[in-house]
Amino acid sequence: MLSQLPIVRRMHRWILPSCGDIRPSRPSSSRRRDAETPRPSPMFPPKLRKTVSEGTLAVPKDVEEFRAMTAYGCLKLFTYDELRQATGDFDPGRIVGEGGFGVVYRGFIDGAARKGHPPTTTREVAVKQLNPEGLQGDREWLTEVSYLGQYSHPNLVELIGYCCDDDHRLLVYEFMAKGSLEHHLFRRACTLSWTARLAIALDVARGLSFLHGAERPIIYRDFKTSNILLDAEFNAKLSDFGLAKEGPMGGKTHVSTRVMGTYGYAAPEYMATGHLTVMSDVYGFGVVLLEMLVGRRAAEPSRAGAREGSLVDWARPILIRPKKLERILDRRIGGPAPRGLGRVARLAYDCLSQNPKVRPVMGRVVTTLEAVLAAGADDEEDEEGTAAAGVS
């Protein structure tokens, strides 16, 4: 079974300079549906909840303050030896992901490490080991622990625990058996159906909507296909919260920050000014939705009509031209143009607007995708009913 797991090479995150600001180098001690038979997301997801019921946990300012805490939320504190044993001494054969942060290993922990699990059972997990020389450091690691340690939602990858021994920084997550959306969408033999793509889009839209609707909005800031992970039933969840940022409060319109993210997915106004809002995430969602429609990466070698290989520049104008839309649709979807294509294309078009004020909020995105999926389900029921009547 292990040999069948794909090795997923995730896109490295880029640091985009803004107003002359560049990221300083860190000292060396400083510290990622069954396609043929997908299971669509439920129309009404479980009630959203915060893991911590009594107020918001303080976000530690640094690792030393973090170490002074006896525990952090409901997270399990692992020793380095425990995780070394869980991953077979970090066996290279267990690597399931790799990127600027370091390496992700497949591992197994006993049930005692998770509340509600019998101690005699084992649980498959993903163990992310931070590379001390990589692009992420202590700040990103603490950000990941802080957000995933406090919030619980069906479309956020569950963080089980962490390790902070000496210079070791590791995180333990639920294991997402199908890997990343990037791995499935951009391989030659992609078999993701139209329904599967819509269900994945709806899942992650719900995750973003939840983050944006928190008591203080959380801006994900690095929305892309490699950060969308799929479980054994192709349910989609957001992972890698290292660049997440609390949104504006008290009447402020934005937060100002160094421009960080991945080329091709960052909103144009954020790249130009460093002003970050929830609409920056909406733009990134639009890029991924466009990638799922067209089957091409956001940044590709230049083609006729595209500027610097930008998929958005090339494809966005076509999204509202029905006669040309079918020509750019990913042919691997198969069959005639699916019902709802025009509505989904228009949604992507709106999310990708240069003007952030006219982009839809994620709650509206969720409503739109639910309606398209529901209409498709009704069509299937009608076809089944017609076929049954013909047989009788």
Any idea which residues carry the catalytic annotation? Answer: 222
- Partners of residue 299 on adjacent β-strands: 310
Distance from C-alpha of 75 to C-alpha of 238, rounded to nearest angstrom: 18
DSSP 225: G
- Burial of 213 (C-beta count, 10 Å sphere; 0-12/13-18/19+): middle
- Burial of 357 (C-beta count, 10 Å sphere; 0-12/13-18/19+): exposed
- The bridge status of strand 49-50 relative to strand 151-152 is antiparallel
CB-based contact 270:220 (threshold 8 Å)? no
Helical ranges in the chain per DSSP H: 63-68, 80-86, 138-148, 181-185, 194-212, 268-273, 278-294, 311-315, 322-328, 341-351, 362-391
DSSP 230: E
Retrieve residue 12's tokens: 């490295």
Report which of 280, 14, 293, 312 is spatially closest to residue 135, judged by C-alpha positions. 14
Q: Is 235 left (phi over 0), alpha (psi -120 to 50) or beta?
A: beta
CB-based contact 330:295 (threshold 8 Å)? yes
Q: Is 237 annotated as a binding residue?
A: no
- What backbone torsions phi and psi does residue 339 show, to the nearest 5 degrees? -65, 135
CB-based contact 281:219 (threshold 8 Å)? yes
The amino acid sitting at 325 is L
What residues are designated binding site for ATP? 128
Q: Which residues carry a binding-site annotation? A: 128
